A and B are shown apart, each in its own frame.
Chain A
Amino acid sequence: MKAIVTVIGKDKIGIISNISTILAKYGVNILDISQTILQGYFTMMMFVDLKNMDISFAKLKEELDLLGNKLEVSIIIQQEDVFKAMHRI
Protein backbone atom coordinates (compact mmCIF):
# COMPACT_ATOMS: atom_id res chain seq x y z
CA MET A 1 0.00 0.00 0.00
CA LYS A 2 1.36 3.40 -1.00
CA ALA A 3 0.40 6.84 0.23
CA ILE A 4 1.14 10.49 -0.39
CA VAL A 5 2.14 12.86 2.39
CA THR A 6 1.46 16.51 1.57
CA VAL A 7 2.82 19.40 3.60
CA ILE A 8 1.44 22.86 2.95
CA GLY A 9 2.34 26.02 4.82
CA LYS A 10 5.14 28.45 5.58
CA ASP A 11 8.65 27.14 4.95
CA LYS A 12 10.90 26.59 7.95
CA ILE A 13 13.93 24.60 9.03
CA GLY A 14 13.41 20.96 9.92
CA ILE A 15 10.11 20.05 8.26
CA ILE A 16 11.54 17.23 6.17
CA SER A 17 13.79 16.00 8.95
CA ASN A 18 10.95 15.85 11.49
CA ILE A 19 8.60 14.04 9.14
CA SER A 20 11.29 11.60 7.97
CA THR A 21 12.08 10.75 11.59
CA ILE A 22 8.47 9.77 12.28
CA LEU A 23 8.21 7.79 9.05
CA ALA A 24 11.49 5.94 9.71
CA LYS A 25 10.45 5.17 13.29
CA TYR A 26 7.41 3.23 12.06
CA GLY A 27 9.01 1.50 9.07
CA VAL A 28 7.58 3.75 6.35
CA ASN A 29 9.85 3.96 3.32
CA ILE A 30 10.13 7.24 1.36
CA LEU A 31 10.08 6.48 -2.38
CA ASP A 32 10.12 9.99 -3.76
CA ILE A 33 10.13 13.51 -2.45
CA SER A 34 9.61 16.86 -4.10
CA GLN A 35 9.07 20.39 -2.91
CA THR A 36 8.02 23.55 -4.62
CA ILE A 37 6.25 26.86 -4.15
CA LEU A 38 2.79 26.48 -5.68
CA GLN A 39 0.28 29.33 -5.67
CA GLY A 40 2.27 31.09 -2.96
CA TYR A 41 2.44 28.08 -0.63
CA PHE A 42 5.40 25.97 0.31
CA THR A 43 4.34 22.54 -0.80
CA MET A 44 6.13 19.31 -0.13
CA MET A 45 5.01 15.98 -1.41
CA MET A 46 6.33 12.62 -0.28
CA PHE A 47 5.48 9.38 -1.98
CA VAL A 48 5.76 6.66 0.66
CA ASP A 49 5.47 2.89 0.88
CA LEU A 50 3.50 1.55 3.86
CA LYS A 51 4.25 -2.12 3.20
CA ASN A 52 6.47 -2.58 6.27
CA MET A 53 4.71 -0.06 8.50
CA ASP A 54 4.41 -1.35 12.06
CA ILE A 55 1.58 0.86 13.33
CA SER A 56 -1.91 1.44 12.06
CA PHE A 57 -2.67 4.06 9.42
CA ALA A 58 -4.84 5.91 11.95
CA LYS A 59 -1.99 6.10 14.48
CA LEU A 60 0.47 7.33 11.86
CA LYS A 61 -2.00 10.01 10.80
CA GLU A 62 -2.39 11.06 14.42
CA GLU A 63 1.38 11.43 14.86
CA LEU A 64 1.66 13.50 11.68
CA ASP A 65 -1.26 15.69 12.78
CA LEU A 66 0.51 16.38 16.08
CA LEU A 67 3.72 17.27 14.27
CA GLY A 68 1.79 19.52 11.88
CA ASN A 69 0.33 21.41 14.83
CA LYS A 70 3.79 21.81 16.36
CA LEU A 71 5.37 23.07 13.12
CA GLU A 72 2.28 25.13 12.20
CA VAL A 73 1.96 23.50 8.80
CA SER A 74 -0.72 21.20 7.46
CA ILE A 75 0.47 17.60 7.07
CA ILE A 76 -1.92 15.33 5.24
CA ILE A 77 -1.50 11.63 4.53
CA GLN A 78 -3.79 9.96 2.00
CA GLN A 79 -3.69 6.64 0.23
CA GLU A 80 -2.42 6.96 -3.32
CA ASP A 81 -5.64 5.52 -4.81
CA VAL A 82 -7.60 8.73 -4.30
CA PHE A 83 -5.17 10.68 -6.53
CA LYS A 84 -5.05 7.95 -9.15
CA ALA A 85 -8.85 7.81 -9.25
CA MET A 86 -9.17 11.54 -9.67
CA HIS A 87 -6.35 12.25 -12.13
CA ARG A 88 -5.85 9.07 -14.17
CA ILE A 89 -8.38 7.46 -16.46
Chain B
Amino acid sequence: MINSFEVLETVQMIERQKLDIRTITMGISLLDCCHSDIDIACGKIYDKITRYAENLVKVGEEISLEYGIPIINKRIAVTPISIIANSVDGTDYIKFAKTLDKAANTVGVNFIGGYSALVHKGYTTGDMNLIKSIPEALAITEKVCSSVNVATTKAGINMDAIRQMGKVIKETAQLTADRDGLGCAKLVIFANAPEDNPFMAGAYHGVGEPECAINVGISGPGTVKTALESVKGESFDVVSETIKKTAFKITRVGQLVATEAAGRLGVSFGIVDLSLAPTPDVGDSVARILEEIGIESCGAPGTTAALALLNDAVKKGGIMASSHVGGLSGAFIPVSEDEGMIEAVRNGSLNLQKLEAMTCVCSVGLDMIAIPGDTSAQTISAIVADEAAIGVVNNKTTAVRIIPAPGKKAGDTVEFGGLLGRAPIMEITKFSSNAFAERGGRIPAPVHSFKN
Protein backbone atom coordinates (compact mmCIF):
# COMPACT_ATOMS: atom_id res chain seq x y z
CA MET B 1 0.00 0.00 0.00
CA ILE B 2 1.29 3.42 -0.96
CA ASN B 3 1.69 5.76 2.02
CA SER B 4 0.72 9.42 2.33
CA PHE B 5 4.27 10.67 2.06
CA GLU B 6 4.78 8.89 -1.26
CA VAL B 7 1.48 10.14 -2.65
CA LEU B 8 2.32 13.70 -1.64
CA GLU B 9 5.81 13.44 -3.12
CA THR B 10 4.39 12.37 -6.49
CA VAL B 11 1.68 15.02 -6.44
CA GLN B 12 4.18 17.77 -5.59
CA MET B 13 6.60 16.60 -8.28
CA ILE B 14 3.84 17.11 -10.82
CA GLU B 15 2.03 20.14 -9.39
CA ARG B 16 4.96 22.22 -8.18
CA GLN B 17 8.16 20.91 -9.69
CA LYS B 18 6.86 20.64 -13.24
CA LEU B 19 7.48 16.93 -13.68
CA ASP B 20 6.01 16.00 -17.02
CA ILE B 21 6.36 13.71 -19.96
CA ARG B 22 7.94 15.96 -22.53
CA THR B 23 6.90 14.01 -25.58
CA ILE B 24 5.24 10.89 -26.87
CA THR B 25 6.70 10.45 -30.31
CA MET B 26 5.34 7.92 -32.77
CA GLY B 27 7.95 6.66 -35.19
CA ILE B 28 6.45 5.56 -38.51
CA SER B 29 8.32 3.78 -41.27
CA LEU B 30 7.65 5.16 -44.74
CA LEU B 31 9.81 2.60 -46.52
CA ASP B 32 6.73 1.16 -48.25
CA CYS B 33 5.73 4.58 -49.62
CA CYS B 34 8.41 4.79 -52.33
CA HIS B 35 7.15 5.45 -55.86
CA SER B 36 8.55 7.02 -59.00
CA ASP B 37 5.53 9.36 -59.24
CA ILE B 38 5.89 11.99 -56.51
CA ASP B 39 2.14 12.54 -56.18
CA ILE B 40 1.52 8.85 -55.59
CA ALA B 41 4.41 8.69 -53.08
CA CYS B 42 3.06 11.73 -51.21
CA GLY B 43 -0.45 10.25 -51.22
CA LYS B 44 0.86 7.05 -49.67
CA ILE B 45 2.82 8.99 -47.05
CA TYR B 46 -0.18 11.10 -46.06
CA ASP B 47 -2.45 8.06 -45.82
CA LYS B 48 0.02 6.05 -43.76
CA ILE B 49 0.81 8.80 -41.25
CA THR B 50 -2.81 9.75 -40.73
CA ARG B 51 -3.79 6.09 -40.38
CA TYR B 52 -1.16 5.17 -37.80
CA ALA B 53 -1.27 8.43 -35.84
CA GLU B 54 -5.03 8.94 -36.00
CA ASN B 55 -5.46 8.33 -32.26
CA LEU B 56 -2.05 9.48 -31.03
CA VAL B 57 -3.18 12.81 -29.60
CA LYS B 58 -6.38 11.33 -28.15
CA VAL B 59 -4.52 8.49 -26.40
CA GLY B 60 -1.91 10.93 -25.08
CA GLU B 61 -4.62 13.09 -23.59
CA GLU B 62 -6.43 10.12 -22.05
CA ILE B 63 -3.27 8.85 -20.35
CA SER B 64 -2.46 12.32 -19.12
CA LEU B 65 -5.91 12.63 -17.58
CA GLU B 66 -5.99 9.21 -15.95
CA TYR B 67 -2.53 9.34 -14.41
CA GLY B 68 -2.62 13.04 -13.67
CA ILE B 69 0.69 13.58 -15.41
CA PRO B 70 1.01 16.27 -18.08
CA ILE B 71 2.11 15.04 -21.50
CA ILE B 72 3.32 18.19 -23.19
CA ASN B 73 3.88 17.12 -26.79
CA LYS B 74 2.60 14.47 -29.14
CA ARG B 75 4.81 14.15 -32.18
CA ILE B 76 5.66 12.03 -35.19
CA ALA B 77 9.01 10.92 -36.58
CA VAL B 78 9.27 9.32 -40.02
CA THR B 79 11.89 7.55 -42.13
CA PRO B 80 14.41 10.08 -43.50
CA ILE B 81 12.60 11.52 -46.50
CA SER B 82 15.75 11.49 -48.66
CA ILE B 83 15.53 7.67 -48.67
CA ILE B 84 11.89 7.67 -49.80
CA ALA B 85 12.40 10.52 -52.26
CA ASN B 86 15.29 8.72 -53.96
CA SER B 87 12.79 6.72 -56.03
CA VAL B 88 11.03 9.78 -57.36
CA ASP B 89 11.50 11.14 -60.89
CA GLY B 90 12.27 14.83 -60.54
CA THR B 91 13.63 17.05 -57.81
CA ASP B 92 10.65 18.95 -56.43
CA TYR B 93 10.99 17.62 -52.88
CA ILE B 94 9.02 20.49 -51.37
CA LYS B 95 5.91 18.39 -52.03
CA PHE B 96 7.14 15.94 -49.42
CA ALA B 97 7.54 18.72 -46.84
CA LYS B 98 4.06 20.01 -47.58
CA THR B 99 2.65 16.48 -47.28
CA LEU B 100 4.27 15.98 -43.87
CA ASP B 101 2.97 19.35 -42.68
CA LYS B 102 -0.53 18.53 -43.85
CA ALA B 103 -0.48 15.11 -42.18
CA ALA B 104 0.77 16.67 -38.92
CA ASN B 105 -2.08 19.18 -39.01
CA THR B 106 -4.65 16.48 -39.73
CA VAL B 107 -3.68 14.34 -36.72
CA GLY B 108 -3.04 17.35 -34.46
CA VAL B 109 0.62 16.83 -33.51
CA ASN B 110 2.79 19.90 -32.98
CA PHE B 111 5.91 18.73 -34.84
CA ILE B 112 6.80 16.08 -37.39
CA GLY B 113 10.46 15.10 -37.80
CA GLY B 114 12.21 13.28 -40.59
CA TYR B 115 12.74 15.75 -43.41
CA SER B 116 16.20 14.33 -43.08
CA ALA B 117 19.25 12.93 -44.81
CA LEU B 118 22.03 10.69 -43.54
CA VAL B 119 25.21 11.72 -45.35
CA HIS B 120 27.97 10.86 -42.90
CA LYS B 121 29.90 9.02 -45.59
CA GLY B 122 28.52 10.59 -48.73
CA TYR B 123 25.48 11.74 -50.67
CA THR B 124 22.92 9.85 -52.69
CA THR B 125 21.01 11.78 -55.33
CA GLY B 126 18.06 11.91 -52.96
CA ASP B 127 20.23 13.31 -50.16
CA MET B 128 21.55 16.01 -52.47
CA ASN B 129 18.09 17.10 -53.61
CA LEU B 130 16.65 17.01 -50.12
CA ILE B 131 19.42 19.09 -48.55
CA LYS B 132 19.06 21.70 -51.30
CA SER B 133 15.34 21.96 -50.52
CA ILE B 134 15.69 22.33 -46.72
CA PRO B 135 15.66 26.17 -46.52
CA GLU B 136 12.47 26.48 -48.55
CA ALA B 137 10.85 23.49 -46.83
CA LEU B 138 11.40 25.00 -43.39
CA ALA B 139 10.23 28.42 -44.52
CA ILE B 140 6.92 27.35 -46.04
CA THR B 141 5.92 24.66 -43.54
CA GLU B 142 5.06 25.13 -39.91
CA LYS B 143 5.53 21.75 -38.24
CA VAL B 144 8.16 19.99 -40.31
CA CYS B 145 11.56 19.44 -38.68
CA SER B 146 14.72 18.59 -40.53
CA SER B 147 17.99 16.94 -39.58
CA VAL B 148 21.15 15.94 -41.38
CA ASN B 149 23.65 13.44 -40.01
CA VAL B 150 27.10 14.54 -41.18
CA ALA B 151 29.40 12.32 -39.13
CA THR B 152 29.64 9.02 -37.28
CA THR B 153 32.40 7.47 -35.21
CA LYS B 154 32.52 4.60 -37.72
CA ALA B 155 32.56 6.71 -40.90
CA GLY B 156 34.33 9.88 -39.85
CA ILE B 157 33.22 13.41 -40.71
CA ASN B 158 31.84 14.42 -44.10
CA MET B 159 33.37 17.86 -44.51
CA ASP B 160 31.69 18.40 -47.90
CA ALA B 161 28.34 18.07 -46.14
CA ILE B 162 29.45 20.35 -43.33
CA ARG B 163 30.57 22.98 -45.82
CA GLN B 164 27.18 22.80 -47.50
CA MET B 165 25.25 22.86 -44.20
CA GLY B 166 26.86 26.18 -43.23
CA LYS B 167 25.28 27.64 -46.37
CA VAL B 168 21.97 25.83 -45.82
CA ILE B 169 21.71 27.28 -42.30
CA LYS B 170 22.40 30.79 -43.60
CA GLU B 171 19.83 30.43 -46.37
CA THR B 172 17.23 29.01 -43.96
CA ALA B 173 17.75 32.03 -41.69
CA GLN B 174 17.37 34.41 -44.66
CA LEU B 175 14.15 32.78 -45.86
CA THR B 176 12.66 33.10 -42.36
CA ALA B 177 14.20 36.52 -41.62
CA ASP B 178 10.74 37.93 -40.82
CA ARG B 179 10.61 35.47 -37.88
CA ASP B 180 14.19 36.04 -36.63
CA GLY B 181 15.46 32.99 -38.53
CA LEU B 182 12.96 30.60 -36.93
CA GLY B 183 13.54 28.04 -39.70
CA CYS B 184 16.95 27.26 -38.17
CA ALA B 185 15.28 26.24 -34.89
CA LYS B 186 13.76 23.33 -36.87
CA LEU B 187 17.07 22.15 -38.34
CA VAL B 188 19.63 19.97 -36.54
CA ILE B 189 23.06 18.91 -37.81
CA PHE B 190 24.09 15.66 -36.13
CA ALA B 191 27.09 13.48 -35.47
CA ASN B 192 26.12 9.93 -34.45
CA ALA B 193 22.38 10.66 -34.75
CA PRO B 194 20.24 8.16 -32.81
CA GLU B 195 17.54 6.37 -34.83
CA ASP B 196 14.96 6.39 -32.04
CA ASN B 197 15.26 9.91 -30.65
CA PRO B 198 11.82 11.21 -29.61
CA PHE B 199 12.93 14.85 -29.27
CA MET B 200 12.58 17.54 -31.89
CA ALA B 201 13.91 18.93 -34.05
CA GLY B 202 16.22 15.92 -34.52
CA ALA B 203 13.73 13.04 -34.41
CA TYR B 204 13.54 10.64 -37.35
CA HIS B 205 12.56 6.98 -37.63
CA GLY B 206 15.71 5.04 -38.49
CA VAL B 207 15.83 2.28 -41.09
CA GLY B 208 16.54 -0.33 -38.39
CA GLU B 209 13.35 0.57 -36.57
CA PRO B 210 10.08 -1.41 -36.73
CA GLU B 211 7.03 -0.44 -38.79
CA CYS B 212 5.77 1.80 -36.00
CA ALA B 213 7.03 2.45 -32.47
CA ILE B 214 6.29 4.67 -29.51
CA ASN B 215 9.28 6.48 -28.01
CA VAL B 216 8.88 8.64 -24.94
CA GLY B 217 11.00 11.53 -23.74
CA ILE B 218 10.82 12.45 -20.10
CA SER B 219 11.62 15.68 -18.34
CA GLY B 220 11.84 17.04 -14.81
CA PRO B 221 14.77 19.39 -14.11
CA GLY B 222 12.66 21.05 -11.40
CA THR B 223 12.27 17.73 -9.59
CA VAL B 224 16.03 17.15 -9.54
CA LYS B 225 16.70 20.68 -8.34
CA THR B 226 14.16 20.36 -5.52
CA ALA B 227 15.68 17.05 -4.41
CA LEU B 228 19.14 18.65 -4.33
CA GLU B 229 17.87 21.52 -2.18
CA SER B 230 17.52 19.01 0.66
CA VAL B 231 21.22 17.98 0.52
CA LYS B 232 22.88 21.41 0.57
CA GLY B 233 26.53 21.22 1.64
CA GLU B 234 26.69 17.42 1.41
CA SER B 235 29.44 15.64 -0.55
CA PHE B 236 29.26 14.75 -4.24
CA ASP B 237 28.58 11.13 -3.27
CA VAL B 238 25.32 12.28 -1.73
CA VAL B 239 24.54 14.59 -4.67
CA SER B 240 24.98 11.72 -7.12
CA GLU B 241 22.82 9.32 -5.08
CA THR B 242 20.08 11.94 -4.74
CA ILE B 243 19.99 12.58 -8.50
CA LYS B 244 19.94 8.83 -9.22
CA LYS B 245 16.95 8.23 -6.96
CA THR B 246 15.03 11.13 -8.48
CA ALA B 247 15.89 10.05 -12.03
CA PHE B 248 14.65 6.55 -11.22
CA LYS B 249 11.26 7.87 -10.13
CA ILE B 250 10.89 10.17 -13.12
CA THR B 251 11.86 7.44 -15.56
CA ARG B 252 9.42 4.95 -14.04
CA VAL B 253 6.61 7.34 -14.95
CA GLY B 254 8.04 7.58 -18.47
CA GLN B 255 8.13 3.80 -18.75
CA LEU B 256 4.53 3.53 -17.54
CA VAL B 257 3.30 6.12 -20.03
CA ALA B 258 5.30 4.58 -22.88
CA THR B 259 4.05 1.03 -22.38
CA GLU B 260 0.51 2.24 -21.80
CA ALA B 261 0.53 4.41 -24.94
CA ALA B 262 2.05 1.65 -27.06
CA GLY B 263 -0.54 -0.84 -25.77
CA ARG B 264 -3.52 1.43 -26.40
CA LEU B 265 -2.29 2.36 -29.87
CA GLY B 266 -1.48 -1.25 -30.71
CA VAL B 267 2.12 -0.55 -31.76
CA SER B 268 5.50 -1.55 -30.33
CA PHE B 269 7.07 0.20 -27.38
CA GLY B 270 10.43 1.52 -28.53
CA ILE B 271 12.44 3.30 -25.88
CA VAL B 272 12.35 5.79 -23.04
CA ASP B 273 14.76 8.67 -23.54
CA LEU B 274 16.28 9.47 -20.14
CA SER B 275 16.50 13.16 -20.55
CA LEU B 276 16.34 16.26 -18.45
CA ALA B 277 14.67 18.56 -20.92
CA PRO B 278 14.21 22.14 -19.73
CA THR B 279 11.62 24.71 -20.79
CA PRO B 280 11.81 28.51 -20.63
CA ASP B 281 9.59 28.46 -17.50
CA VAL B 282 11.06 29.34 -14.13
CA GLY B 283 11.62 26.13 -12.13
CA ASP B 284 12.23 23.96 -15.20
CA SER B 285 15.91 24.67 -15.83
CA VAL B 286 19.01 22.45 -16.11
CA ALA B 287 21.26 25.49 -15.47
CA ARG B 288 19.59 25.98 -12.09
CA ILE B 289 20.47 22.38 -11.12
CA LEU B 290 24.15 23.11 -11.83
CA GLU B 291 23.83 26.24 -9.72
CA GLU B 292 22.23 24.23 -6.92
CA ILE B 293 25.30 21.97 -7.01
CA GLY B 294 27.37 25.02 -6.10
CA ILE B 295 28.08 27.16 -9.18
CA GLU B 296 27.12 30.82 -8.71
CA SER B 297 26.02 31.20 -12.32
CA CYS B 298 26.01 28.55 -15.05
CA GLY B 299 29.28 28.70 -17.00
CA ALA B 300 31.58 29.50 -14.07
CA PRO B 301 34.44 27.02 -13.43
CA GLY B 302 33.04 23.74 -12.13
CA THR B 303 30.09 23.81 -14.54
CA THR B 304 31.47 21.06 -16.81
CA ALA B 305 32.20 18.74 -13.87
CA ALA B 306 28.79 19.38 -12.33
CA LEU B 307 27.11 18.67 -15.68
CA ALA B 308 29.14 15.47 -16.13
CA LEU B 309 27.99 14.23 -12.74
CA LEU B 310 24.39 15.22 -13.42
CA ASN B 311 24.35 13.49 -16.81
CA ASP B 312 25.88 10.30 -15.45
CA ALA B 313 23.62 10.12 -12.40
CA VAL B 314 20.49 10.67 -14.52
CA LYS B 315 21.49 7.70 -16.70
CA LYS B 316 22.39 5.45 -13.79
CA GLY B 317 19.09 6.17 -12.05
CA GLY B 318 17.07 5.87 -15.24
CA ILE B 319 18.55 2.72 -16.74
CA MET B 320 17.08 0.41 -14.10
CA ALA B 321 13.73 2.15 -14.30
CA SER B 322 13.14 1.41 -17.97
CA SER B 323 13.22 -1.84 -19.94
CA HIS B 324 14.63 -0.11 -23.04
CA VAL B 325 16.58 3.09 -22.96
CA GLY B 326 17.57 5.01 -26.08
CA GLY B 327 17.39 8.28 -27.94
CA LEU B 328 19.63 11.04 -26.68
CA SER B 329 19.41 10.19 -22.97
CA GLY B 330 21.09 12.81 -20.84
CA ALA B 331 20.82 16.42 -19.77
CA PHE B 332 19.90 18.95 -22.45
CA ILE B 333 21.47 22.39 -22.52
CA PRO B 334 19.46 24.33 -25.12
CA VAL B 335 20.17 27.97 -24.42
CA SER B 336 16.91 29.53 -25.60
CA GLU B 337 14.76 26.87 -23.92
CA ASP B 338 16.30 27.14 -20.44
CA GLU B 339 15.56 30.10 -18.23
CA GLY B 340 18.80 29.68 -16.26
CA MET B 341 20.93 29.41 -19.41
CA ILE B 342 19.33 32.56 -20.87
CA GLU B 343 20.14 34.43 -17.65
CA ALA B 344 23.71 33.06 -17.62
CA VAL B 345 24.34 34.30 -21.17
CA ARG B 346 22.84 37.68 -20.27
CA ASN B 347 25.00 38.15 -17.19
CA GLY B 348 28.15 37.09 -19.04
CA SER B 349 28.93 33.88 -17.16
CA LEU B 350 28.18 31.57 -20.10
CA ASN B 351 29.76 31.88 -23.54
CA LEU B 352 30.02 29.72 -26.64
CA GLN B 353 33.43 28.30 -25.65
CA LYS B 354 32.13 27.09 -22.29
CA LEU B 355 29.02 25.64 -23.95
CA GLU B 356 31.25 23.69 -26.33
CA ALA B 357 33.13 22.24 -23.36
CA MET B 358 29.83 21.31 -21.72
CA THR B 359 28.73 19.41 -24.83
CA CYS B 360 31.63 16.99 -24.26
CA VAL B 361 29.92 15.61 -21.17
CA CYS B 362 26.19 15.73 -21.85
CA SER B 363 23.78 14.30 -24.34
CA VAL B 364 23.44 16.94 -27.00
CA GLY B 365 25.51 19.70 -28.51
CA LEU B 366 25.24 23.40 -29.23
CA ASP B 367 21.48 23.59 -29.07
CA MET B 368 19.24 26.59 -29.79
CA ILE B 369 22.06 29.09 -29.91
CA ALA B 370 21.41 32.41 -31.56
CA ILE B 371 24.41 34.12 -33.12
CA PRO B 372 24.83 37.39 -35.04
CA GLY B 373 23.12 37.43 -38.44
CA ASP B 374 26.32 38.42 -40.23
CA THR B 375 28.21 35.28 -39.11
CA SER B 376 29.66 33.69 -42.26
CA ALA B 377 28.60 30.29 -43.59
CA GLN B 378 32.21 29.13 -43.20
CA THR B 379 32.30 30.03 -39.50
CA ILE B 380 29.05 28.14 -38.97
CA SER B 381 30.50 25.14 -40.82
CA ALA B 382 33.59 25.26 -38.61
CA ILE B 383 31.43 25.36 -35.46
CA VAL B 384 29.54 22.29 -36.76
CA ALA B 385 32.86 20.54 -37.50
CA ASP B 386 34.11 21.15 -33.95
CA GLU B 387 30.94 19.66 -32.48
CA ALA B 388 31.04 16.71 -34.89
CA ALA B 389 34.65 16.04 -33.84
CA ILE B 390 33.61 15.96 -30.17
CA GLY B 391 30.87 13.46 -30.97
CA VAL B 392 32.95 11.28 -33.28
CA VAL B 393 35.97 11.04 -30.99
CA ASN B 394 33.91 10.49 -27.83
CA ASN B 395 31.52 7.93 -29.36
CA LYS B 396 28.51 10.05 -28.54
CA THR B 397 25.79 12.04 -30.21
CA THR B 398 26.44 15.72 -30.72
CA ALA B 399 24.36 18.19 -32.64
CA VAL B 400 24.25 21.78 -33.68
CA ARG B 401 21.07 23.82 -33.84
CA ILE B 402 22.26 27.34 -34.41
CA ILE B 403 20.37 30.42 -35.53
CA PRO B 404 22.23 33.23 -37.31
CA ALA B 405 19.42 35.74 -36.62
CA PRO B 406 19.19 38.12 -39.58
CA GLY B 407 19.92 41.74 -38.71
CA LYS B 408 20.77 40.96 -35.09
CA LYS B 409 24.07 41.47 -33.31
CA ALA B 410 25.61 40.17 -30.08
CA GLY B 411 23.61 41.31 -27.05
CA ASP B 412 20.25 41.50 -28.91
CA THR B 413 17.50 38.99 -28.18
CA VAL B 414 15.34 36.88 -30.46
CA GLU B 415 11.90 35.60 -29.49
CA PHE B 416 10.67 32.32 -30.95
CA GLY B 417 7.82 31.82 -28.52
CA GLY B 418 6.42 28.68 -26.90
CA LEU B 419 8.77 25.81 -26.15
CA LEU B 420 11.45 27.28 -28.42
CA GLY B 421 11.78 30.23 -26.04
CA ARG B 422 13.91 33.31 -26.49
CA ALA B 423 17.63 33.58 -27.02
CA PRO B 424 20.20 36.26 -26.35
CA ILE B 425 22.54 36.58 -29.36
CA MET B 426 25.92 35.16 -28.40
CA GLU B 427 29.25 36.62 -29.35
CA ILE B 428 31.19 34.88 -32.15
CA THR B 429 34.96 35.14 -32.63
CA LYS B 430 36.10 37.64 -35.25
CA PHE B 431 38.80 35.26 -36.52
CA SER B 432 38.21 33.43 -39.79
CA SER B 433 37.94 29.67 -40.45
CA ASN B 434 37.31 30.14 -44.18
CA ALA B 435 40.24 28.11 -45.51
CA PHE B 436 39.37 25.27 -43.10
CA ALA B 437 35.70 25.16 -44.06
CA GLU B 438 36.40 25.32 -47.82
CA ARG B 439 38.73 22.28 -47.93
CA GLY B 440 35.97 19.66 -48.15
CA GLY B 441 36.54 15.90 -48.31
CA ARG B 442 36.26 13.58 -45.35
CA ILE B 443 37.96 13.53 -41.97
CA PRO B 444 38.74 9.82 -41.47
CA ALA B 445 37.18 7.79 -38.65
CA PRO B 446 39.24 7.84 -35.45
CA VAL B 447 41.47 4.85 -34.74
CA HIS B 448 39.41 3.71 -31.74
CA SER B 449 36.38 3.15 -33.96
CA PHE B 450 37.99 0.02 -35.43
CA LYS B 451 36.81 -2.45 -32.88
CA ASN B 452 35.93 -5.50 -34.96
* Residues in A lying within 8 Å of B, measured CB to CB: 4, 6, 8, 32, 34, 36, 38-39, 41, 43, 45, 47, 57-58, 61, 74, 76-88
* Residues in B lying within 8 Å of A, measured CB to CB: 1-2, 4-11, 15, 65-69, 249, 252-253, 255-256
Supposing A4-B7, A82-B10 touch, asked if A57 and B66 sit within 8 A by C-beta, the answer is yes
Shortest C-beta distance, A48 to chain B (Å), equals 13
- Can you list 28 residue pairs at the A/B interface with Cβ under 8 Å? A4-B2, A4-B7, A6-B8, A6-B11, A8-B11, A34-B4, A36-B4, A38-B4, A43-B8, A45-B4, A45-B8, A47-B1, A57-B65, A58-B65, A61-B65, A76-B15, A78-B10, A78-B11, A78-B67, A78-B68, A79-B68, A80-B2, A82-B256, A83-B6, A85-B255, A86-B6, A87-B2, A88-B2
Q: How far is the CA of A85 from the CA of B253 in the complex (A)?
A: 6
Interface of A, helix, strand, loop or mixed by DSSP: strand
Q: Chain A residues with Cβ under 8 A from B8's Cβ?
A: 6, 8, 38-39, 41, 43, 45
Q: How many A-B contacts at CB < 8 Å in the complex?
A: 69
Q: Chain B residues with Cβ under 8 A from A36's Cβ?
A: 4
Q: Chain B residues with Cβ under 8 A from A8's Cβ?
A: 8, 11
Supposing A4-B2, A74-B15 touch, asked if A82 and B65 sit within 8 A by C-beta, the answer is no
Q: Does B7 contact A45, Cβ atoms closer than 8 Å? A: yes
Closest to A31 in B: B1
Q: How far is the CA of A43 from the CA of B253 in the complex (A)?
A: 23
Q: How far is the CA of A85 from the CA of B1 in the complex (A)?
A: 12
Closest to A36 in B: B4
Q: Chain B residues with Cβ under 8 A from A77's Cβ?
A: 68
Supposing A43-B4, A45-B4, A87-B2 touch, asked if A81 and B67 sit within 8 A by C-beta, the answer is yes
Q: How far is the CA of A80 from the CA of B1 in the complex (A)?
A: 10
Supposing A76-B11, A87-B10, A87-B249 touch, asked if A82 and B67 sit within 8 A by C-beta, the answer is yes
Q: Chain A residues with Cβ under 8 A from B2's Cβ?
A: 4, 47, 80, 83-84, 87-88
Q: Does B5 contact A38, Cβ atoms closer than 8 Å? A: yes
Q: Chain B residues with Cβ under 8 A from A85's Cβ?
A: 252-253, 255-256
Q: Chain B residues with Cβ under 8 A from A86's Cβ?
A: 6, 10, 249, 252-253
Q: How far is the CA of A41 from the CA of B15 in the complex (A)?
A: 14
Q: How far is the CA of A78 from the CA of B11 in the complex (A)?
A: 9
Closest to A82 in B: B67
Shortest C-beta distance, B258 to chain A (Å), equals 11
Q: Chain A residues with Cβ under 8 A from B1's Cβ?
A: 32, 47
Shortest C-beta distance, A67 to chain B (Å), equals 16
